[in-house]
Amino acid sequence: MFDIGFWEITLILVVALLVVGPERLPKLARTSGLWLGRIRSMVQTVKTDIDRELAAEDLKKTLSKQADSIGIHDIIEETKESFNEIKDSMAGLDNTLNENLSESSTPAVADKKDVQAIDEK
């Protein structure tokens, strides 16, 4: 905050000693320390209050954005509908494939007799 070095503090103490006197200097130092502590405490309290207000404001903004956006239930319903559409289209493809296979005249699996005949040769 302030750039006060050793010589500046020494000069302040010498002036205070000359103005106040040696008998009242300890009481003045104690009183100054108490006031400095109170000021620091008040500044810290104000900083904490400001941080708390900023956090509350951010939370309010986030909540309002979430309230304006699409709800999670709507997203779940849209996903279920999409899944059901895909499921129905897959069932239709499966039925078409089964119909095509049943209409074809070539057998899909050879008989055991055919396999044995081939092994004997």
Residues 50-73: pLDDT tens digits? 999 999 999 999 888 877 776 777
Q: State mean pLDDT over 80-97.
A: 86
pTM above 0.75, yes or no: no
Count of CB atoms within 10 A of residue 16's CB? 15
Could you identify the residue written with the tokens 């040769």?
121
Q: What is the pLDDT of residue 81?
A: 92
Question: Mean pLDDT highest for which of 12-26, 70-84, 92-106?
Answer: 12-26
Share of the chain above pLDDT 70, in %: 82
> What type of residue is 59?
L
Q: How far apart are CA 77 and CA 30, in angstroms?
A: 70
Q: What is the mean pLDDT of the chain?
A: 83
Does residue 42 surpass a pLDDT of 90? yes
* CA gyration radius, the chain: 44
